[in-house]
Chain A
Amino acid sequence: MSRPNETTRALAKIGGFARSAAPFVRGLFGAAEQTLDDWLASRLGEDFNERLARVPLALGPAGVDPFGLDPQWAKYAIASVAFLHRHYFRSDVFGIENVPKGRVLLVANHSGQVPMDGAMIGAALFMDADPPRIMRAMVEKWTQTLPFISLFFARVGQVVGVPENAERLLEQGEALLVFPEGAKGISKTFDQRYKLVDFGLGFMRLAMQTGTPIVPVAVIGGEEQYISVANMTGIAKLLRVPAFPVIPQLLIPGGQLPLPTKYRLYFGEPMVFTGDPDDDDSVIEEKVWLVKATLQSMVNRGVKARKGIFF
């Protein structure tokens, strides 16, 4: 142990420099945090903090839930998506009262090249549901190897996408969002907009196994935020990314931001499925088809009902 001590002492010296600057930096952060808090309250209404306090969470003594969700961190993430929800995409939310109080699996159509739809559903559950909830979603496994990103996901309640985690979250009584279309859904080209691609079967087995009601969520407005004219699958394969969309608007200054389309979120009636979760694919497929058909008709109605894309 004497050897490690010497080396860490050297490290401690470096740490010493950092620490001498720490009070100043901490002061800056403190001031920034206060200003940010005030600004949040002014933009999102006083009830934002009150809502945060009402979120039912299973926090441990360290103020963190077993999956690493820290409300003090999540607050700012939620606030920024809540801001987009209220002021940028100006989402209209319909049928949020259909979301049951306990465990629920939200099944939504995927669209828009970047997963803004997930963020908007999360914002709706926090800002418009009663009691407010922090929605959970699953992230790709490889994101865990990225510094900061893995940390950020964990602290805002997003978990690694493995079945055991999904099961545990539902047993904990959480609202879990899934996109059964997967990466194929989000990278749809513009001509394929609002047409659901094939659904995976995993979510249905999960719902049946845990006895979780499924709430279909139709997201309208996401398809027009980035208009993709083509998907270069060859390049995507070469770069080992799930898709390589061609989005002309990225070349226009300011076009890098998603277009400020108006989002409309329709929460459908809960659907409950019973049976053996380990049944044949053909049996499960029928049930999945039922969910897909329901969601597709909700999407179609939503698209028909809107008067314009941006308002």
Chain B
Amino acid sequence: MDRPPSTDISEDDQEPTSDERSPESPLARIASAAAGTGEGSIVVTGICGRLGKRVARVLHRGHRVIGVDRRPFNDKPKDIEHQQVDIRRKKLKDVFRSGDVQAVVHLGVMHDPRASAADHHSWNVAGFAKLLEYVAQFNVPKLVVLSSSNVYGPQPDNAQFLSEESPLLGGQNFSDIRDLIEVDMLAQSFFWKLPKTDTVILRPVHILGTVHNAASNFLRLPTIPTLLGFDPMVQVIHEADVVKAIELALKPGVRGIFNVAGPSPLPLSRIIDILDRPSIPIPYTFGKMILSRMWSLRLTSFPVPELDHIRYVCMVDDTRAREVCGYTPDYSIHETVRAVNDGIW
């Protein structure tokens, strides 16, 4: 089991449940790999997600990357370490023990509307708290947390562009995402409590691409339902631009909360036009009724409160990210929207 990292790609494929590895092995592996490079490594949680893999592919060119994810990592680049551990487990500490972790990128947030609330809470909040504990204990100089603009929540009285100081009201009508707001809050309090660590909280708008989030799944529907008489302005961002923002957030000296938006906003109807897919307008009350029925019959993956995203605005002002991090989106609105087609399977 204790092999150099270059040969364990096939291992991962054969043993998807390799949680029973000996506790020393990760340590030994990190130590052996660290001997090769002068600088520290970047720990990426949730690396096996679609966004995580993209982040890993960009970061491993310049840094040593250690992935933490309980899922298996197929087609992993050779120089990436993968620790198949649950972030709630003590084993996570071994990753930090080597003492040369220079940054932690936390992408491993669970957002599965079907998962139980208890599971969600313990993974997102307890798991993240554990991670923060190790970041503090091992004096990691940088922490990047991927939150979301959804923490502000779509509201009828939202300002057209919300600043980073706007209250996080996303859980007001959608209690299932309260743990995601709590993650954001935990990171904020960590930012104040440990000034030695440069904590960065990124709040990107709806991420589009191969990712399987609600926004991309919604735009991949063969016929896109809309709400009759509502056509809110929306902001979307290409997954590669999110990766770019994460990369910029890792720059030394960058700290704080940053909204991250893609190309200029446009009405939902224009996005559907770009995709050239049929849409069907449904009156709100009727749509809500159908959706809650479908949800209880497990026919849809969209919980009812998500309807508000196609009803009200929830847009952000990303001036700070542009000025402080030097962030600008690379992908045009057409490329960004069409990227959801890459995720159809």
Q: Which of A6-14, A197-205, A224-232 contacts B (4 or more CB under 8 A)?
A: A6-14
B212 and chain A: residue at smallest CB distance = A1
Distance of B33 from chain A, by nearest CB (Å): 37
Which residue from A18, A61, A70 sits with its C-beta under 8 Å from B263? A61
Q: Which residues of chain B are within 8 angstroms of A162 by Cβ–Cβ distance?
A: 157-159
B283 at the interface (CB under 8 A from A): yes
CB atoms of A147 and B233 under 8 A apart: no
Across-interface contacts of A18 in B (CB, < 8 A): 280
Tell whether A67 is near chain B: CB-to-CB under 8 Å.
yes
Smallest CB gap from A58: residue in B:
B264
Partner of B270, one of A1, A12, A62: A62
Partner of A160 from the list B157, B231, B263, B298 (CB cut-off 8 Å) is: B157
Q: Which of B266, B270, B284 contacts A147 (CB 8 A)?
A: B284
Contacts of B267 in A (CB 8 A): 62, 64, 68, 70
B210 at the interface (CB under 8 A from A): no
- Interchain CB contact under 8 A, B280 and A66: no
Q: Does B140 contact A (CB under 8 A)?
A: no
Residues of the B chain whose Cβ atoms lie less than 8 Å from the Cβ of A164: 159-161, 163
A62 vs B235: C-alpha distance when bound (angstroms): 12
Count chain B CB atoms within 10 A of each CB in A1, A62, A148, A154 and give the residue with the most.
Answer: A62
Residue of A nearest to B235 (CB): A66
A66-B156 contact given A11-B223, A14-B280, CB 8 Å threshold: no
Q: Is B217 an interface residue (CB 8 A)?
A: yes
CB pair B299 A64 closer than 8 Å: no
Shortest C-beta distance, A45 to chain B (Å), equals 31
* B58 adjacent to chain A (CB < 8 Å): no
Which residue in A4, A70, A148, A151 is a CB contact (below 8 Å) of B221?
Answer: A4
Contact between B333 and A62, CB atoms less than 8 A apart: yes
Chain B residues closer than 8 Å to A147, beta-carbon distance:
227-230, 283-284
**Residue of A6, A60, A70, A146 most packed against chain B (CB within 10 A):** A60
Q: Taking CB as reference atom, which chain A residue is nearest B162?
A: A164
Number of residues on chain B facing chain A (CB within 8 A): 42
A242 interface residue per 8 A CB criterion: no
Taking CB atoms, residues of chain B closer than 8 Å to A5 are 221-222
B74: CB under 8 A from chain A?
no
Q: Are B229 and A11 in contact (CB under 8 A)?
A: no
B332 touches A (CB below 8 Å): yes
**Nearest CB in chain B: distance from A62 CB, A:** 4
Which residues from B are CB-within-8-Å of A64? Answer: 233, 266-267, 270
- Cβ A66 vs Cβ B223 within 8 A: no
- Given known pairs A12-B222, A147-B228, the reply for A3 and B300 (CB within 8 Å) is yes
Q: Smallest Cβ distance from A253 to chain B, in angstroms?
A: 31
Q: A145 interface residue, CB < 8 Å from B?
A: yes
Taken together as a complex, chains A and B put the C-alpha atoms of A5 and B224 apart, in Å, by: 11
Q: Which residues of B contact A7 (CB under 8 A)?
A: 294, 299-300
Asked whether B299 lies within 8 Å of A61 as measured between CB atoms, the reply is no
CB-defined contacts of A295 to chain B, threshold 8 Å: none
Q: Are B156 and A62 in contact (CB under 8 A)?
A: no
Partner of B300, one of A4, A62, A168: A4
Q: Tell me if A256 is interfacial: C-beta within 8 Å of chain B.
A: no
A301 at the interface (CB under 8 A from B): no
A190 to B214, CA, bound (A): 54
Scan B236-276; emit 1 where CB is below 8 A from any A CB, else 0: 00000000000000000000000000011111001000000
With CB as the reference atom, state the residue of chain B lying closest to A4: B300
Q: Is A67 in contact with B227, judged by CB distance below 8 angstroms?
A: no
B278 contacts the other chain (CB 8 A):
yes
User: Does A8 contact B333, Cβ atoms closer than 8 Å?
Assistant: no
- Taking a contact as CB atoms closer than 8 A, the residue among B221, B230, B231, B233 that contacts A8 in the complex is B221
Contacts A8-B223, A147-B227, A159-B160 given: A68-B233 contact, CB under 8 Å?
yes
| Contact, CB under 8 Å: B280 / A165 | no
In the assembled complex, A15 has its CB within 8 A of some CB on chain B: yes
Asked whether A60 lies within 8 Å of B264 as measured between CB atoms, the reply is yes
Q: Is A144 among interface residues, defined by CB-CB distance under 8 A?
A: yes
Asked if A67 and B160 make an inter-chain contact with CB atoms under 8 angstroms apart, the answer reads yes
B266-312 contacts to A, CB under 8 A, are: 266-267, 270, 278-280, 283-284, 294, 298-302, 312
CA–CA, A7 and B223, complex, Å: 10
For the complex, is B225 an interface residue (Cβ under 8 Å from A)? yes
A141 interface residue (CB < 8 Å to B): yes
* A4 to B265 Cα, complex, angstroms: 27
- Chain A residue with minimal CB distance to B159? A164
Q: Are A1 and B217 in contact (CB under 8 A)?
A: yes
A142 in the interface, Cβ–Cβ < 8 Å? yes
A/B interface sample: 12 pairs, CB < 8 A: A11-B223, A12-B222, A18-B280, A60-B265, A61-B332, A62-B267, A66-B161, A66-B265, A144-B157, A147-B228, A147-B284, A150-B156
Q: Which A positions have Cβ atoms within 8 angstroms of B?
A: 1, 3-9, 11-12, 14-15, 18-19, 60-62, 64, 66-68, 70, 141-142, 144-151, 154, 159-160, 162, 164-165, 168
Binding site for A on B (CB under 8 A): 156-161, 163, 212, 217, 220-223, 225, 227-233, 263-267, 270, 278-280, 283-284, 294, 298-302, 312, 332-333, 345
List 7 tightest A-B contacts by C-beta distance, closest first: A147-B229, A164-B159, A60-B264, A144-B156, A62-B266, A148-B229, A12-B223
